[in-house]
Structure 1
Amino acid sequence: MSYAPSELKFTHTHEWLRDEGDGIYTVGISDHAQALLGDMVFIDLPDSGTAVDAGDECAVIESVKAASDIYAPCTGTIISINDDLDATPERVNSDPYGDGWLFQIRIDVDEDLDEFIDAEDYLASIADDE
């Protein structure tokens, strides 16, 4: 059964966001998403400094089962990426809410935050998938 930390916000496309303050959010994929994808073998992250719009395809995760697009959860600028995933993409499987984070974004549009759901609602939305 998937878990979702209560302090995070989630998208319907299975990305999570952690508020770091000052308009900066750390982004990753949910435990549910990593379990569906299986063992990660490669992750193509956006470059720092890349401007993205909410909903843009901005990264790709490849697993032994499939490749999956990662969508920008909000409009902003990528300010940092998790370089450690180049050598150890499996961190997304072993620690999706910790060392398996993907990138950090500085948001431009606060209204984008209204589209996120809390952990309880996210878990309810995926209950039929499990």
Structure 2
Amino acid sequence: MIPPAIECGFGELGKHGSIINAEFGAAFRLSAVLTDAPFAPTPKREFGVDDFCMHCRVCEDACPPEAILPEKVAVRGEEKWYVDFDRCIPFFAQTSGCAICIAVCPWSRPGVGESLAAKLARRAARQAAE
């Protein structure tokens, strides 16, 4: 469900392998509804998550099985953040769930997402003007 959610502009892929939404951060659950209702398409949005995650290590450092890689890797020909599920899933199963990476993500703090997205947008505008 993550790729379609990214393509329709719901959010961006975070270093922890989950979607980060400008309003909700990473602390939400995706679901889908099939319909033939005539919705207008929404474009993919970027609001700075990629650059933010590149310079942040919070989820990476907090991951007990060290499953979150520090840099992007090529996955089916595309550079993206990657979580080593061979490390993640056994720990997840052993502890009956984990989600430490999502809990510690700065985007997951209530009320932070929108202000953080606005700050990153201002930074991107300044960099584009230089």
With structure 2 as the length reference, what TM-score do the two structures score?
0.30
Which structure has the larger Rg?
Answer: 2
* Structure in which a larger fraction of residues adopt helix: 2
With structure 1 as the length reference, what TM-score do the two structures score?
0.30
